[in-house]
Amino acid sequence: MRTDIKINEFERVDDLHRNGFKIIQDPKRFCFGVDAVLLSSFARVKKDERVLDLGTGTGIVPILLAARTKGAYFTGLEIQEESVEMAKRSVALNELEGKISIRLGDIKEAAQLFAGQTFDVVTSNPPYMNEGGGLVNSYSAKAIARHEVLCSLEDVVAAADKVLQWGGRFYMIHRPHRLTDIIVLMRQYKLEPKRLRFIHSFQDKAPTMVLVEGIKGANPMIKVEPPLIIYSEAGKYTQEAYDIYYGEGQA
């Protein structure tokens, strides 16, 4: 862990509870949430595979995947310059320059940015709110992260299709109310949905998120996995949720 990385005013360094890794965040802009942690746990990355994270923000998913898996190399694509700069500092802080690169660029231009390259795995934690779906936060960085301001759900799926090799895997976390759109778009772009997992805050509550895996060019047949329950009671994680956050241990 390097000690010479600049931490700006209003920024903080948070422990990721994985391999001693940490991440630099600015609460005034946008801090990662449970969805990024769940996505990195759901995504299957095999030894020596190459991964692209679309809309990487401050690089949380590539850093967590580098800690959790034996993937060869992880690339994060992000359109906001300030987030890219912060993500690069987090990569350097964890001495991961040989495993992770952060690129500035538009998801809609992914095919051109990575011309001639294909990836084994693509991940994305895209904006959840489509046009008219909730109030846009006045702070632009948060608006871009939460709302389809600069890219749509179709832009994300289309980009994944363009950069994935045949048989490659696409992983996304989103809201259940967009599930019809997600499945229709994934099939349209030949990313056959193969696994679904719903996320519930409590066992007796409706799901708040859904994890989806698609495989490029696969045959139809989807597996709906058992739901993931985050809390057993107020303020207490279930054992599975605790293990996802902190590694195996006692909740």
Each domain of the chain, given as residue ranges in start order, spans 12-246
199, β-bridge pairs: 209, 228
Whether residue 123 contacts residue 49, with contact meaning beta carbons closer than 8 Å, is answered with no
Q: What is the pLDDT of residue 214?
A: 98
Mean pLDDT of the chain: 90
The 10s digit of each residue's pLDDT in 33-51 is 899 999 999 999 999 999 9
Sign of the dihedral defined by the CA atoms of residues 132, 136, 140, 145, in that order: negative
Q: What is the pLDDT of residue 129?
A: 53
DSSP per-residue letters across the chain: --S-----TT-EEEE-SSTT-EEEE-TTT----HHHHHHHHH----TT-EEEEET-TTTHHHHHHHHH---SEEEEEES-HHHHHHHHHHHHHTT-TTTEEEEE--GGGHHHHTTT--EEEEEE----B-TTSSPPPSSHHHHHHHBSSS--HHHHHHHHHHHEEEEEEEEEEE-GGGHHHHHHHHHHTTEEEEEEEEEESSTTS--SEEEEEEEETPPS--EEPPPEE-EEETTEE-HHHHHHHH-SS--
Q: How far apart are CA 232 and CA 191, in angstroms?
A: 34
Cα 161 off chain centre by: 16
Q: What is the pLDDT of residue 87?
A: 97
Q: Which CATH architecture has domain 12-246?
A: 3-Layer(aba) Sandwich (3.40)
Q: Is 28 left (phi over 0), alpha (psi -120 to 50) or beta?
A: alpha
The 10s digit of each residue's pLDDT in 180-196 is 999 999 999 999 999 99
Binned average pLDDT, 10 residues per bin, the chain of 251 residues: 89 94 91 94 98 96 97 97 96 98 97 93 84 47 47 95 97 97 97 98 97 98 98 95 79 40
Q: What is the pLDDT of residue 136?
A: 44
Q: What is the pLDDT of residue 73?
A: 98
Q: What is the pLDDT of residue 211?
A: 98
Name the residue among 66, 59, 62, 1 with its Cα closest to residue 30: 59
**What is the pTM (predicted TM-score) of this model?**
0.90
Task: Tally Cβ neighbours within 10 Å of residue 166.
Answer: 10
Q: What is the pLDDT of residue 243?
A: 95
Q: What is the pLDDT of residue 30?
A: 79
Q: What is the pLDDT of residue 34?
A: 93
Q: How far apart are CA 123 and CA 14, in angstroms?
A: 22
Q: What is the pLDDT of residue 248?
A: 61
* Furthest C-alpha separation in the chain: 51
